[in-house]
Structure 1
Amino acid sequence: MLLNDFKNENFPNLELGPPLFYSWDIGIRFELGTDWRKEYVYPNNPYIQGCYKRVIALFEELHSPLDDILIMIDVNDFEKGKNIRSKLKNFPPYVEKPLLYKLNHQKMPYIFSEDDEDGAYKTHRFTLKCKTSDFKYIPLLKAICNQDMGIKPSMFHRVYFININKKTIFHVYDDRGCDLLATSPETIKDVYHKYNDWILDYDRHEIDKVFNNGFPYSTIECFK
């Protein structure tokens, strides 16, 4: 499978799951939502508009129209395999129907969860290879940001944008922020500088070490 081949070659031993940023040495965690207020429960409020602006800017900085990308959606199967085909509706709003024939489906191992009555569920991984220009990324990014805001449309499943050409992985976890991973600091150094003010302050110290020293944090620690 193309996804596994790409991951094994460029991101060996990386588990694609949250929190993605803490699973790889070279990455940036950006803050999307700022200045939230409890009255912001309506569509197109100032808070969510700010989230949209940041996530679209970051995505377009990272993905050129002709880049080859993999869109990966992980769907947790709490229904034990029932009606899993209905989950395919997560793609049609954002891609043309002919592309859906290229959709790859993979069943992932069981994951234990306290929220599940039987203590386990299975993840169905849907992957689509296409060009950036082949899908409507703006409404998809907005739907991901909407998931915890009570705003429709919403995307509650985990979505990863994997750039085959640039060897990056971009994951928007919700309106709070997003993670960007790369195989080399040089690949995303321009993004680090251009959008430095958007970096999550909680992780800024570790991120700065990667780009100011040219080595992943774990590598730097070895020299101390």
Structure 2
Amino acid sequence: MNLTDFMKENFSNLELKPPLFYDWEIGIRFELGVNYDWQNDGENSPYLKGVYQRAITLFKSLHSQEDEIFMVANVNDFGKGATFNRKLKIFSRYVQKKSVLNQLKHVTIPYVFPEDNEDGKYKTHRFILKCKTSDIKYIPLLKAICNQDMGIKPNIYHDVFFINIKNKTIFHVYDDRGCDLIAASTENIKGMYHKYNDWILDYDRDEIDQLFI
């Protein structure tokens, strides 16, 4: 099954872009960063260690090593002529075997935020890799995503989505503040809701609770 068919079957009419939680009816928004201290937000700070721990724990709970997944990256092109060699480090740096990269697909689609593209000059390059969870160095990858606004390298500022084919879920860490988990069915993520209930973002808790009552 390719990504297009999977999305049509399980997430009809959903565009892969943030914020997933607000664009789909079944989902959970988890808080990753708590007790932020701007005076102590470096690489080894308690704050960032806590962010990493939550992101990695949620990912591991959701994806077993042998699960087939789509790893999808949106690379937004603002017409500045950026090369793809640098962009593709998202994959080459965080994939275990170079042979897996032969499966990497690239499509160009309309800019995923059309409201910000009045002149029509922007577009989005979508990179899609179908693989197993075990093919990805997901711990350093997740850390790099969490680092995007922290002034710490390595960092990844493109949106990266992990789509679990068996579980019919999509997982997206948007930055150090939090992550979205959406699913084709509430049953698919009920276990995550109960196990990590304390990590749910309080701002959206009432709406999330209503899904699982």
> TM-score, structure 1 length as denominator?
0.89
Larger radius of gyration: 1
The residue that corresponds to 2:26 in the other structure is 26
Q: Counterpart of 1:73 in structure 2: which amino acid?
A: A
- Report the more deviating stretch, 180-189 or 118-127: 118-127
1:107 and 1:124 in contact (8 A); partners too: yes
Distance 1:136 1:188 in 2: 24
RMSD over aligned Cα atoms:
1.7
- Aligned 1:56-135 pairs, distance under 5 A: 56-95=56-95, 96-110=97-111, 111-112=113-114, 120-135=121-136
Task: Show the counterpart of 2:190.
Answer: 189
- Where in structure 2 are the equivalents of 1:205-216 lying within 5 Å? 205-212=206-213
1:17 pairs with 2:20: no
Matched, 1:48 2:26: no
SS in 2 for 1:91: helix
Q: Give 1:210 shift.
A: 0.3
Unaligned runs of 5+ in 1: 213-224
Structure 2 CA distance, aligned partners of 1:62 and 1:142? 17
Deviation at 1:198, TM superposition (A): 0.3
- Give the equivalent residue in structure 1 for 2:203: 202
* 1:153 maps to 2:119: no
Q: Distance in 1 between matches of 2:26 and 2:114?
A: 28
What are the superposed Cα offsets for residues 50-73 of structure 1, whole Å, 9 maximum, x if unpaired?
000101110000000000000000
User: Partners of 2:168 and 2:87 in 1: how far apart?
Assistant: 28
Give the partner amino acid of 1:2: N
Structure 2 length normalisation: TM-score?
Answer: 0.94
Contact 1:29–1:177 at 8 Å: present in 2 too? yes
CA contact (8 A) 2:149 2:175 kept: yes
Partner letter of residue 42 of structure 1? G
Q: Which amino acid aligns with 2:167?
A: K
Alignment: residue pair count: 211
Percent identical pairs in the alignment equals 63
Following TM superposition, by how much is the alpha carbon of 1:80 offset from its aligned partner in structure 2, in angstroms?
4.8
Q: Which amino acid aligns with 1:52?
A: Y
In structure 2, stretches of 5+ residues that fail to align are: none
Q: d(CA) in 2 for partners of 1:118 and 1:168? A: 34
CA distance in 1, matches of 2:183, 2:118: 37
- The answer as to whether partners of 2:74 and 2:124 remain within 8 angstroms in 1 is yes
